[in-house]
Structures are given as C-alpha cells and as structure tokens.
C-alpha cells in the first residue's frame, strides 16, 4: 500500500491518502490546484515534509534514486536529453514489448527525439518509466495528446500493470477515463483534498 | 638588460594621439562611441598610473603582510567580477563564495608552488615576482570560472525538465546534471585552450612582448611565457572544476532534487 501522511510544501497540503496495490486513485481538479505538485511531492522532487511509504518501506529509509525507481512518475510533458530515443533507455531488452503495447512500432527506438509528435513523446515517456518496472505509478494526463485508439491501448496496458499488483495515481481531466480506470477519486482544490468518493467499478 | 629603452612621458602623449584621432572620427561620424572610448581611456590611464605607484611602494616596502594585503584585494576584485559576469547565479553569499573560493584556492596553491618551488626568488614571497604572477594567474582563472559558472547556471535552468526526467528514472544528481556539466566545463576551458593554440603563431603574448621590448633574450622570455602558460592552464583547470562541482552540489540536495530555488537572476536579488 502507498501511504501518504501529512504531505506538505509551500502553499500546498497537508494531504493524507493511501492507495492499495492493484488499485487506481483518480485525481481531478482545476489547473493550478496542485495535482502535479502532489505527484512531485510523493516522488520527492521538491522540498516537502510528511511521511510517504510503500508497503511499509519509508522513502527516507532509502536513497532518493532507489525510491524513484520504485515509484515511477510520468509528468504531463516528457523531457529528453539525447538525440535519439534509444539512448534514453538503460536496458533495451524489455522495451520492445512495451512499445508495441502502446501502439508504436519497434522501430520507434531508432527515431530522433526532435521529430516525435506530442503523442509519440507521451507514449515513449510512459514506456521509459514502465521499463524500470516501478511498483507505484504516478501518471499526469498520460493520454491527453492521444487519439481514441491509442488511448485505449495505453489504458489496457495500465490495467495489466494494475492487475500485476501495482498501485496507481492517475491525474486526468477526462471524467470518463477516471471512471474506466479508478476505483476511488479525490479532488484537489487549492492544494487540499476536498472530496473523496468511492465508486464501484 | 642591454638595449632597454626607457619611455618618456612625451612618447606616451605622442602615442595617445592615435586614440584621440579615433575619438574624433567617432564624434565626426556620430558613432556614439566617443564617450565610451574616452571614459575607458581615462580609466585605463588612471588605473595604470595608480597601480604603478602602488607596486613601486609595495616593492620598496618589501613586507610580507603588505604583499598579502594586495593579493587579498586582488582576489576580492576578481571574485566580485566572477559574480557580476553571471546572468543566473546562486542566491546569497554562495553566489560570490563558490566562484571566489575556487579561484582563490587554485590560484594560491599554484602561485605558492611556482614561487617556492620553481622560480625561487629571495625571499620566496618577493612582491616583484609574487604579485604580477598571482595577477596573471588570477585574471585567467577568473575568466574561466565566470564563463563556466555562467554557462552551468544557464544550461541547468534551461534543461531543468531533462535533468528532472533523469532523476525520475533513478539517476543520482551528479549523473542527471552530467550533460550540463560537460557543457559548462567545455565553456570554462575554451579560453585557455584557444590561447594555448594561438600563442606564438597569431599573437605574441603581452608579457613576452614586454620582456623582449625591455631587452630580455627571446629564449629566456619564451621560457618564462611557457612557465606562465602551464601555471595558468593548471590553475584555470583546477578552479573551473572546483567551482562547477561545488555549484552543482549547491544546486541539488542530498535527496537528489534539483534546487533551482537557490538560483537568482542578476539584478533581481
């Protein structure tokens, strides 16, 4: 179980929430309400305070890079630092399957980053995070630039990850996607959770 | 020192006519450079005449404390210059402290080694040797360090999302910043590499020209110039490396986060 207690940073929080393995928590809220700050806080990318743990292992008990390999965060806009796609992966052996699962050809590994469309970037960014096999997935608008067909492929892949016991927090502006993916939803307003409702799937 | 021709002040006035002609042309063509040129020329004249007097006084006094005081003042001016040349710099005292300390540490170590171990004047801190040597080493290191830090901070700020993307994939702070580190180091090393390549072919270094004009045997002048270039190269390298890695340490924290909140834009804080 992912446990977040009293998470706060400047002008944000406190926030308490928990997500069990195999479950998806949907997060909604207006732009600027703090959805991305919540995910950045959990993955410890900004200075923040609070207790965050996965299956009883506190993030402070391990170096930050180890925590981030266990808790994968895919921002709404992915960033790249080398010229071609393949150089962003340490281990290419597992990548081929994932790339096909999100609806891209295996040859995408040889593509130039500068020529990727926003949808290709977004899907390759997701593949990059999933390739490390994290136990928790924090996803910020993972299908925003995608068409319906690519979206359903990504959702199918994410459902397989959930079935494998991973915990997921999904930030989305699309209520239908939240309904398809999430067992619980929360809403963030001005850096705080205002409303929790449990929904049957 | 055979063949040494002392200049009279009349010679200098004659030479300055060339600069005055430049100023007149600028005013005549309304280039708007006349004022800047004039101010720079006056500054140069006053600064050089003053440093001549100061050096004469310090050489005559031959006091280690006075020599040290002048060296400390030089470090202060150079440190401030490094600070001023960065568009984005670390907030607070770190902004001047990291560049200044790296330059001072590297410059002091190399100057002391050169004086006590290589040139060996009597006494080893003799201001006639120590101050010009320290000044040349400091000036070049200052250029390298300020370029490296300016490039580092600009690059890290521009590449923040790419750096965070690498942190998110479980890389540590040093690995995530490495692409920016390389750009910054290259920028800091470029002036010294360029000046080593061009020296003797395109330009005769000012110090060597000065020695030759004042009657020193060219071979002897070349040996001094080589020594100086090795010292400058070594100090610039140490200073740039020290400043860049210290600055990365400050721009990240022990939870491997990128801390751009510790960076300010010049003129804003």
A121 touching B, CB under 8 A? Answer: no
pLDDT for the residue numbered A196: 58
A34 touching B, CB under 8 A? Answer: no
Residues whose CB is less than 8 angstroms from the CB of residue A73 and which lie 6 or more positions away in sequence, other chains included: A39, A40, A42, A43, A45, A129, A138, A140, B168
- CB distance A27 to A171 below 8 Å: yes
Query: For B170, which of A69, A78, A79 is closest by C-beta distance?
Result: A69
CATH of domain A2-198: 3.40.50.300
Is a pLDDT exceeding 80 seen at residue B230? yes
pLDDT for the residue numbered B206: 82
pLDDT for the residue numbered A195: 64
Residue-wise pLDDT tens digits, B181-227: 999 999 999 999 988 888 877 777 888 888 888 888 999 999 988 99
B166 touching A, CB under 8 A? Answer: yes
Q: How many CB pairs under 8 A join A and B?
A: 59
Residue-wise pLDDT tens digits, B114-128: 999 998 998 999 999
Q: Where are the domains of chain B?
A: 1-61, 63-265
Residues A79-84: what's their mean pLDDT? 94
ipTM: 0.92
Q: Which residues of chain A are within 8 Å of residue B163 when distances are taken between CB atoms?
A: 81
CB contact under 8 Å between B170 and A132, yes or no, is yes
pLDDT for the residue numbered B82: 94
> 3-state secondary structure string, chain B?
CCCCCCCCHHHHHHHHHHHHHHHHHHHHCCCCCHHHHHHHHHHHHHHHHHHHHHHHHHHHHCCHHHHHHHHHHHHHHHHHHHHHCCCEEECCCHHHHHHHHHHHHHHHHHHHHHHHHHHCCCCCCCHHHHHHHHHHHHHHHHHHHHHHHHHHHHHHHHCHHHHHHHHHCCCCHHHHHHHHHHHHHHHHHHHHHHHHHHECCCECCHHHHHHHHCCCCHHHHHHHHHHHHHHHHHHHHHHHHHHHHHHHHHHECCCCCECHHHEEECCCC
B157 touching A, CB under 8 A? Answer: no
What's the mean per-residue pLDDT of chain B?
91
Q: Which residues of chain B are within 8 Å of residue A75 when distances are taken between CB atoms?
A: 161, 164-165, 168
CB contact under 8 Å between B165 and A69, yes or no, is no
CB contact under 8 Å between A129 and B255, yes or no, is no
DSSP A47: -
Is a pLDDT exceeding 60 seen at residue A147? yes
CB contact under 8 Å between B255 and A72, yes or no, is no
Reported as a pLDDT band with limits 50, 70 and 90, residue A160 is very high
CB contact under 8 Å between B257 and A46, yes or no, is yes
- Residue B201 half-sphere exposure, CB side, CA atoms within 13 Å? 5
- DSSP per-residue letters across A91-157: --TTHHHHHHHTT--GGGGGSBGGG--HHHHHHHHHHHHHTT--SEEEEESTTTT--HHHHHHHHHH
Residues whose CB is less than 8 angstroms from the CB of residue B206 and which lie 6 or more positions away in sequence, other chains included: none
**CA–CA distance, B65 with B176 (Å, rounded to integer):** 46
Highest mean pLDDT among A68-72, B42-46, B262-266: A68-72
**Residue A9, helix vs strand vs coil:** strand
* Residue from B181, B182, B152, B164 nearest B258 by CA: B164
The CA radius of gyration of chain B, in Å to the nearest whole number, is 22
Q: Which residues of chain A are within 8 Å of residue B253 when distances are taken between CB atoms?
A: 47
B255 touching A, CB under 8 A? Answer: yes
Q: Is the dihedral of CA A113, A118, A119, A125 positive or negative?
A: positive
**CA–CA distance, A65 with B255 (Å, rounded to integer):** 8
A132 touching B, CB under 8 A? Answer: yes
A69 touching B, CB under 8 A? Answer: yes
Q: Which of B159, B162, B164, B170 to mutate to test the interface with A (most CBs of A within 10 A)?
A: B170
A66 touching B, CB under 8 A? Answer: yes
**CA–CA distance, B260 with B268 (Å, rounded to integer):** 15
pLDDT for the residue numbered B6: 81
Query: For B164, which of A45, A129, A132 is closest by C-beta distance?
Result: A45
**CA–CA distance, B167 with B145 (Å, rounded to integer):** 27
CB contact under 8 Å between A47 and B259, yes or no, is yes
CB atoms within 10 A of CB B218: 12
**Residue A88, helix vs strand vs coil:** helix
Q: Which residues of chain B are within 8 Å of residue A77 when distances are taken between CB atoms?
A: 161
Looking at per-residue confidence, does B206 or B156 come out higher? B156
Q: Is B254 exposed, middle or buried (0-12, 13-18, 19+ CB in 10 A)?
A: exposed
Residue-wise pLDDT tens digits, A40-70: 999 999 999 999 999 999 999 999 999 999 9
Q: Which residues of chain A are within 8 Å of residue B181 when distances are taken between CB atoms?
A: none
- CB distance B123 to B63 below 8 Å: no
CB atoms within 10 A of CB B40: 12
**CA–CA distance, A161 with A168 (Å, rounded to integer):** 9
- CB distance B140 to B192 below 8 Å: yes
Question: How close is the nearest chain A Cα to the Cα of B169, in Å?
Answer: 6
- CB distance A87 to A124 below 8 Å: no
Q: For B257, name the nearest residue in chain A, comparing CA atoms only.
A: A45
Q: For A133, name the nearest residue in chain B, comparing CA atoms only.
A: B169
Rounded (10°) angle between helices B218-251 and B127-158 = 40
Q: For B176, name the nearest residue in chain A, comparing CA atoms only.
A: A81
Residue-wise pLDDT tens digits, A83-112: 999 999 988 888 999 999 999 998 999 999
Q: How many residues does chain B have?
A: 269
């Amino acid at each position: 179980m992912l446990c977040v207690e009293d998470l706060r940073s400047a002008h944000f929080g406190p926030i308490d929430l928990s997500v069990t393995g195999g479950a998806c928590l949907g997060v909604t809220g207006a732009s600027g309400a703090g959805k991305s700050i919540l995910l950045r806080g959990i993955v410890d990318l900004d200075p923040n305070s609070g207790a965050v743990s996965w299956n009883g292992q506190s993030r402070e008990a391990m170096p930050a890079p180890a925590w981030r390999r266990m808790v994968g965060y895919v921002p709404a806009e992915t960033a790249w630092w080398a010229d071609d796609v393949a150089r962003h992966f340490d281990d290419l052996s597992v990548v081929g399957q994932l790339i096909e699962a999100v609806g891209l050809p295996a040859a995408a590994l040889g593509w130039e980053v500068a020529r990727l469309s926003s949808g290709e970037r977004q899907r390759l960014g997701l593949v990059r995070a999933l390739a490390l096999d994290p136990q928790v997935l924090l996803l910020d608008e993972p299908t925003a630039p995608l068409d319906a067909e690519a979206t359903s492929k990504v959702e199918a892949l994410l459902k397989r990850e959930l079935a494998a016991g991973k915990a997921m927090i999904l930030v989305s502006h699309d209520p239908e996607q939240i309904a398809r993916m999430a067992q619980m939803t929360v809403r963030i307003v001005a850096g705080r959770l205002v409303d929790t409702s449990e929904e049957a799937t | 020192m055979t063949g040494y021709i002392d200049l009279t002040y009349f010679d200098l006035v004659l030479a300055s006519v060339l600069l005055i002609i430049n100023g007149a042309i600028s005013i005549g063509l309304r280039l708007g450079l006349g004022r800047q040129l004039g101010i720079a020329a006056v500054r140069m004249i006053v600064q050089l005449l003053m440093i001549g007097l100061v050096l004469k006084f310090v050489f005559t006094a031959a006091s280690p404390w006075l020599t040290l005081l002048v060296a400390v003042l030089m470090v202060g001016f150079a440190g401030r210059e490094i600070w001023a040349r960065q568009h984005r710099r670390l907030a607070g005292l770190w902004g001047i402290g990291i560049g200044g300390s790296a330059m001072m540490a590297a410059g002091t170590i190399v100057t002391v080694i050169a004086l006590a171990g290589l040139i060996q004047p009597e006494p080893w801190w003799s201001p006639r040797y120590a101050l010009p040597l320290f000044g040349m080493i400091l000036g070049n290191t200052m250029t390298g360090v300020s370029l490296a830090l300016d490039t580092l901070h600009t690059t890290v700020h521009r590449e923040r999302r790419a750096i965070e993307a690498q942190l998110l994939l479980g890389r540590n702070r040093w690995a995530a910043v490495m692409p920016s580190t390389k750009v910054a180091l290259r920028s800091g090393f470029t002036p010294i590499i360029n000046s080593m390549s061009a020296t003797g072919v395109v330009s005769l270094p000012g110090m060597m020209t000065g020695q030759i004009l004042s009657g020193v045997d060219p071979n002897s002048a070349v040996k001094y110039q080589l020594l100086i270039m090795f010292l400058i190269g070594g100090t610039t390298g140490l200073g740039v490396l020290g400043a860049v890695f210290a600055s990365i340490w400050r721009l990240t924290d022990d939870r491997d986060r990128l801390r751009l909140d510790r960076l300010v834009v010049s003129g804003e804080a």
